[in-house]
Each structure stands twice: as C-alpha cells, then as structure tokens.
Structure 1
Amino acid sequence: MNPVTLTPGNVPLADWRAIYRGAAVSLDPACAPRVAQSAAAVSRILAKGAPVYGINTGFGKLASVRIGDEDLATLQRNIVLSHAAGTGAPSPVPVIRLMMALKLASLAQGASGVRPETVALLEAMLVKGLTPVVPSQGSVGASGDLAPLSHMAATMIGVGEIFYRDERLPAAEALGKAGLEPTELGPKEGLALLNGTQFSTANALAGLFEAELLFRSALVTGALSTEAAKGSDTPFDPRIHTLRRHRGQIEVADALRGLMTGSAIRASHLENDARVQDPYCLRCQPQVMGAALDILRQAATTLEIEANGVSDNPLIFPETDEALSGGNFHAEPVAFAADMIAMAICEIGSIAERRIAMLVDPALSGLPAFLTPRPGLNSGFMIPQVTAAALVSENKQRAYPASVDSIPTSANQEDHVSMAAHGARRLLDMAQNATAVLGIELLAAAQGVDFHAPLASSDALEAARATLREQVPSLEDDRHFHPDMEAANLLIRSGALLASAGDSLPGVA
C-alpha cells in the first residue's frame, strides 16, 4: 500500500481509506510555516495580557477564571489529565491511527496555535507505529471528543498507555523504545489536542469504508441469490430506472445486469416460467441498494469535508492576532452522516436476510426445503437463516438515530450535544453483523445454484462461486456449520469475493 502524504485541508477520501487500511502517513512539510505563525500568534496574544479563552482562562463553565502566566503550562497539563476520563474497551487500532491522522491534518492548518514540535511528535508517533490506548466510551460529540482525544494527548506527555509492536506499554516506556520523548505542552496546546471531532469522524469514516465493502459484496450475493431462485433480470432493465432518475438505482441495476450477463440459468427460464413477478427482495434490489448507495455517498461528502476541516476552539488567526471562540467542535454533521450510514448498513442486511429466507422456503424458491438434498434427516440452512434474522434485528435496534438524543453537560454550558461518537462507534459492529448475514447468503445462494447443475451462471458469478467452493464444499449432509460461515465471512471482509467477481462494481467514491 502506497504511503499517504497529508496535505492539510485537501486530503481525498481515498487517502483516509488507505490510512484506515494501514498505509504509512507523513505530513506535507509545506505546512510548517503556517504552524509556526500560529504558535507565534499565541505568544503575541498572551503578551497583550487580556483574558483569552483556552489560553489563560479556565475551560467550559470555568471560562471566567483567569489563570496567571506562571500556571499556563500546568493549566494545559491539567486539562489533559482531567479530561482523560474515558471508559470501556480500547478503540480499534486502525480507528485510532485514523483519528491521529485527522488531528495531525487539522493542527497542521495553522489555526490551532500549537508549536511545530508538538505537531512533529504526533506525526512521529504515527510514523513509528505508536497508537495510544483510547477507551471507546465517554464522548457526547460536542465540545469535541474530549475524553477520547485527551487519552491521545496524555500519551504525548508520557501518561497513559500505548500499543507498540504488539505490546501494550506505559506511554513513557513506549515513547522511549521508539526513540521519542514526552513533551511539555505550551499555552493552548492541551486544549487544541483534546478539542475537535476527530474521534467521531474516524469512527464514522471507518464505518463508511466497511459499509462500502459491504454494499459492493451484497451486489454479488444478491445477484447469485437471484440466479439460485431462477429470478428474472427484467427488473434490471435500464429503461425502468432511467425513468426514475436516481443515480444509485441506475448504477445498481446496471451492475446486477452485468453480473448476470451470459447466465445459462437465466436463459433456461426465459420462456415457460409461470411466475409473473419475483418477490421484492429480488425485484427491488436496484431501488433498495441504489438508495443505500446514494445515502452512503451523501455521508461520504459530509465526512470528507469534516476530515479536512478544523474543529477545535478557540481558533487562532495570525493575520490579526485574534483567538475567536466558536462551536466547530459540535459534531452534528458527523452525527447525521453516521445515522445515514447506520440506516444503509441496516437495510443492506435486511434485504439480504429476506433473500436467504426466500431461498430456504421451497414454496417461494422451488428449491429443496432448507437447501438440503435430504430434508428431514438434515436441517440444512434452517438455523443459519435464524442467525441472519437475529443479526438483522440487532442492527434494526442499533439503527435508531443517535443524533436526535441530546443531554446537557458541563453545568448546562454545553446544553446541546450531537452524540456523534455514539452514532459512529456502533457502525463497525453493525457492519460486522451485516457481513455475517451476507456470508450466510453467499453460502445459501451458492448451494441453490448447485441444484441447477449442469446449468451454470454467468462467468462473474461462477468465479465468485468457485472462490467460495475452494474453501467450502457443497452441503450434501449436515455438518458443523460455523466454520463454513467463518470462511464465507472472511471472503467478504478480505475483498476476495469482490475480486473474484471482477471488482468493477459501483462504490461510494
């Protein structure tokens, strides 16, 4: 994977995706003068002697408390330590690396008042593979992701823990092993590090990237299910979708039609098929999956903008030596985007489960009951469909919008919050659930196509089926089902299923 050089304020979505997938990160050195100017502006602002929020005052409800010059370094250390109050399991390393890169790109725009050496330390931690241990819970998505980002900032001053070379070490020890030293934060720096939406945005971007893989994989499993059920490709005719005009719907119909092109199974029932219309889970794939694609693209647009923005407070403007307080830390755009991604993930899994249910029902599919050659003696796909239903229902419960739930904090100073962190954190678990549903659909659809031998599907779908069959043989009699499901899940998560089908399907960006 090619390394990513961050150009602050102008980082494409593909680069954030690459960082999440493990690409090395560095900072464009052209941003250095702007960072230095911002830090110098903080010094000039302090020299004026006026109270300025976050630089020589308390924080939040304590903003009216003036802090003397002799205590400014202690002030910044204290805010980091007091705000590092997260709880729960550690956040995934890929998410925190992405969070660090987002914070690095934000600070390097020269609007946060941090010194070049502080930016350099954060960059060095990324380059050397030092990932702070950041508890996953504790942010309400306003006033920034204070607790999670404080845990990151704490490691920079030698407090807390860091994952380094497969070890979980005290922060100071990990920094030392990597040839780095803890820093002492200057005026404004602690607040700049812990204020912002980077934790919520990193989780939302991670959810988006997993949802994109999920979406594209579902086109393959959905087309294969259509083949297994001897469904019609007429509902994918471009004339139907052109009349409705939704971009995603048009692209999904085109993709499904392409996946089925050349299928001998489809050709075998072009005539003399008594069915007039297929169930919605087959026929309405372009409408459902197209809507999911459109909403994922909307979320991607919002998150790409957010990822390139500056969201701490106050913001420093060196041209006029002003520190302006505002509310860019309020993560409402991220919360809305996360809610949209959650709905898309939920619906992708929901319609896939309906296809599984259709395939195991002989009255609907025309296939042997529960897709086993000898039903009764064997239960076949009976319980995997139940598992899919359980996962879909769990995702439905999680898909309730987080953005509509606010609770006042900080003695009502922060009286409306976004809950973006909640909305974004759930996405990886939801994507994992939906991936398991697609894995079951892949197994069921391939089993259904097996019953149509010697007829074959299209080249693309046969290649996908062959990839599965290299790992999982056709189900003749009942066997331990869990390993089959895990193998199918891995094919989806790794992208191997997509690659086997051609990997030319529409994506988010």
Structure 2
Amino acid sequence: MSKIELSGENLTIDKLEQIALQKYECVLSASARKKMQTSREYIEKRLQAGEVMYGVNTGFGAFSKVRISNEDIVQLQKNLIRSHCSGVGEPFTQSETRAIMALRANALARGHSGIRVAVVDKILEFLNADVLPVIPCQGSVGASGDLAPLSHLALALMGEGEVFNKLGVPTPAAEVLKEKKIAPLELQAKEGLSMINGCQVMTAVGLLTAARARDLLWLLDLGGAMSLEALRGSRGPFDKLISASRPHPGEGETARNILKLLGETSEIAESHRDCDRVQDAYSLRCMPAVHGAAKNTLWRTIET
C-alpha cells in the first residue's frame, strides 16, 4: 500500500478519495510533527505559568468564568467528549469515516490547535488499522464545528463508544482495541476541545460527493456524445470558436470533450455534408452551456 504524508497542506481531493477507498497508508510528516510540538509546548508553558485559557482550565460556554483546578483539567476534556456524543441516525459509511479521520488528522497536523503529536498519531493508527468509529450521520449542520460527530470519533479513540469490526458490524470499541492490541488515547489538557472544534465531517462528505459528481459529469459528456451520434446532430455548436468567445471554462471543456469523443470523422459529419437542417434541438445544441454550468459550479466548490 502506498504511503502519503499528511502535513496539513498537501491533501487533495484525489488523495482523499483514495484514502477513503483504502489505497493509502497515512503518516504524519516531520514538518507537521515539529509544528505541533512547538504549539503544544506553548500551551503547556502557559498552563505552568497559571494563565487562564478558555476550555483548558475554565468551563465552556456559560461556565467560561468557572476556573478548573489542575487536578480536573483532564477530566474536563473527557467529560466534554462524552457529553457531546449525541448524534442520531444511521452511521456514516466506512469510506466516509476514513475521509473524516484523514481530514481531521490533516487539519490538526497544521499545528494550530495546541495538541500533542500523539493525538494525530492515534487517529492515523486507527485509520491505518481500519478501526473505524461508528459516527451517527445526524447531529451537525457543519457551521461552528461538527461537535457531535467528532465527539463520536474522539470517544472511540478513548476506547469508548463503538467501532466497526472486521465484518462491518458496530462493536464496543474496547473489544476491538483489545483484539487489535491498540492502546486507547489518554486525552490531556485542551485536547478534547481541539478534537471536536472543526468542520471536517461535513467537509469530508462534501468532498466525496464532489469527487463522485466529477465522475458523473464526465459520464454526462459521454452520454451527450452518444446522443449526438445517434441523432445525427451537428458539430457546429461545439466549435472551439464559440466556446473561446465566452468566459465560461466549463463550456469549453464540454465542447472539447464531446468533439474528442466523436473523433475526426464520423457518421455525423457525413450526414450533415448536404443536410438542409438549420439547427438541432436544444437538448443537443445547448449541451456545452448546460454541462458547462454544472462543471463551473463543481470546480468552484472544490476550489473553495
């Protein structure tokens, strides 16, 4: 199995799709380890100095003014995870769960969250061993953080909650970890908050959907070329001069794809050599505009 290093900067939609399909083993890059270590040392230095930090040595939300003793800091993080495991509905698919784990690890690898390297190593240990948390698909709108679903991810890392066994059946995490000889994660200060304060669940689902949409758009052009061939439509609307005159890259891409699929010579060209038809139906001649608009929307989504 090929390896991919996660640095927080290099993950593409193509690589994410391959990770979701178990084509890659994920490891943390040396540069990411260094950034994370520096960030964690900063947090620990402030803790040792007795500085007040929200969600680290204080409560959350309305309890932000409540100071948490050093003895209870770790328990605070565990309680945060357990209290937010409130998702409902069917679990995400195993492919979606792999994508969620990879994206969360990649985001934390940027070194902006103040957590230990061990946390990301544990996520990747689970991912590479295909020990996948059971994450209910309902419980977040992907706005200010996928708190509930990411809590289910973190809970499994802690050895609680459920993971899929080798048959794809939800099973108590403790049982599977014992079988696989994987030690559960012991959360430290800030790490529960850092684990769940992100939007990687909705992002993963969105990116996998975009990847499938990209494949479908290619099939759309293929079907369009077949329709044009079968109905003996004209190549005229696909002329490169037309698409070059318009500032819509998707339109030009569609026209080029269909002309390439039709080839240099075909029955279409011969049937129109002495044809008296003025124009084809909208469904044929407007393919570049319609398919192209869908491509432009998808490309913008992926870029964002």
Q: TM-score range by the shorter chain?
A: over 0.9
Partner residue, 1:104: 105
Partner residue, 2:3: 3
1:249-264 matched pairs, under 5 angstroms: 249-262=251-264, 264=266
Q: Are 2:89 and 2:136, in contact at CA under 8 Å, matched by a contact in 1? A: yes
Q: Which of 187, 191, 194 is equivalent to 2:193?
A: 191
Letter matched to residue 112 of structure 1: S
Q: Are 1:148 and 1:199, in contact at CA under 8 Å, matched by a contact in 2? A: yes
How many angstroms apart in 1 are the aligned matches of 2:20 and 2:234?
Answer: 39
Whether 1:56 and 2:63 are equivalent positions in the alignment is no
Shift of residue 63, structure 1, vs aligned partner: 2.1
Partner residue, 1:134: 135
- Please give the secondary structure, in 1, of the residue aligned with 2:68: coil
Partner residue, 1:44: 45
Partner residue, 2:75: 74
How many angstroms apart in 2 are the aligned matches of 1:15 and 1:224?
Answer: 31
Shift of residue 266, structure 1, vs aligned partner: 0.6
Can you give the 5+ residue segments of structure 2 that lack an aligned partner in the other structure? none
Q: Which moved more, 1:142-151 or 1:51-60?
A: 51-60
Q: Are 2:6 and 2:109, in contact at CA under 8 Å, matched by a contact in 1? A: no
Partner residue, 1:205: 207
Partner residue, 2:124: 123
Shift of residue 245, structure 1, vs aligned partner: 3.0
Q: Are 1:172 and 1:181, in contact at CA under 8 Å, matched by a contact in 2? A: no
Partner residue, 2:285: 283
1:96-134, Cα deviation, whole Å (9 max, x unpaired)? 111111111122222212122222211111111111110
Shift of residue 83, structure 1, vs aligned partner: 0.5
1:234-277, Cα deviation, whole Å (9 max, x unpaired)? 11011111111322211211111111124543134214544321
Letter matched to residue 9 of structure 1: E
How many angstroms apart in 2 are the aligned matches of 1:61 and 1:231?
Answer: 66
How many angstroms apart in 2 are the aligned matches of 1:108 and 1:50?
Answer: 25
1:432-459, Cα deviation, whole Å (9 max, x unpaired)? xxxxxxxxxxxxxxxxxxxxxxxxxxxx
Shift of residue 13, structure 1, vs aligned partner: 3.3
Letter matched to residue 72 of structure 1: I
Q: Are 2:96 and 2:204, in contact at CA under 8 Å, matched by a contact in 1? A: yes
Q: Which moved more, 1:120-129 or 1:258-267?
A: 258-267
How many angstroms apart in 1 are the aligned matches of 2:75 and 2:58?
Answer: 12
How many angstroms apart in 2 are the aligned matches of 1:39 and 1:166?
Answer: 38
Letter matched to residue 131 of structure 2: L
How many angstroms apart in 1 are the aligned matches of 2:261 and 2:120?
Answer: 48
Q: Are 1:4 and 1:18, in contact at CA under 8 Å, matched by a contact in 2? A: no
How many angstroms apart in 2 are the aligned matches of 1:245 and 1:40?
Answer: 50
Partner residue, 1:248: 250
Partner residue, 1:221: 223
- Please give the secondary structure, in 2, of the residue aligned with 1:132: coil
Letter matched to residue 51 of structure 2: A
Partner residue, 2:267: 265
- Please give the secondary structure, in 2, of the residue aligned with 1:300: helix
Q: Are 1:4 and 1:23, in contact at CA under 8 Å, matched by a contact in 2? A: no
Q: Which of 238, 241, 245 is equivalent to 2:240?
A: 238
1:188-247, Cα deviation, whole Å (9 max, x unpaired)? 000111110110110111011001001111110111011122211111011111111322
1:143-188, Cα deviation, whole Å (9 max, x unpaired)? 3100110000000111111113224321111122222111221110
Whether 1:161 and 2:162 are equivalent positions in the alignment is yes
Q: Are 2:7 and 2:110, in contact at CA under 8 Å, matched by a contact in 1? A: no
How many angstroms apart in 1 are the aligned matches of 2:131 and 2:195?
Answer: 17
Runs of 4+ in structure 1 displaced over 6 angstroms? Answer: none
Shift of residue 2, structure 1, vs aligned partner: 3.4
- Please give the secondary structure, in 2, of the residue aligned with 1:5: strand
1:320-348, Cα deviation, whole Å (9 max, x unpaired)? xxxxxxxxxxxxxxxxxxxxxxxxxxxxx
How many angstroms apart in 2 are the aligned matches of 1:279 and 1:241?
Answer: 19
How many angstroms apart in 1 are the aligned matches of 2:61 and 2:300?
Answer: 33
Shift of residue 142, structure 1, vs aligned partner: 2.6
Letter matched to residue 299 of structure 1: T
Partner residue, 2:114: 113
1:290-347, Cα deviation, whole Å (9 max, x unpaired)? 1221221111111xxxxxxxxxxxxxxxxxxxxxxxxxxxxxxxxxxxxxxxxxxxxx
Aligned-residue sequence identity (percent) comes to: 38
How many angstroms apart in 1 are the aligned matches of 2:44 and 2:102?
Answer: 26
Shift of residue 21, structure 1, vs aligned partner: 3.1
Shift of residue 16, structure 1, vs aligned partner: 2.0
Letter matched to residue 141 of structure 2: V
TM-score normalised by L of structure 1: 0.57
Seen in structure 2, the aligned counterparts of structure 1 residues 264 and 31 have a Cα distance that, compared at 3 Å, is closer
How many angstroms apart in 2 are the aligned matches of 1:155 and 1:191?
Answer: 15
How many angstroms apart in 1 are the aligned matches of 2:71 and 2:300?
Answer: 48
Can you give the 5+ residue segments of structure 1 that lack an aligned partner in the other structure? 303-509
Seen in structure 2, the aligned counterparts of structure 1 residues 17 and 122 have a Cα distance that, compared at 3 Å, is same
Shift of residue 61, structure 1, vs aligned partner: 3.3
Q: Are 1:4 and 1:26, in contact at CA under 8 Å, matched by a contact in 2? A: yes
Letter matched to residue 256 of structure 2: D
Q: Which of 289, 293, 296 is equivalent to 1:294?
A: 296
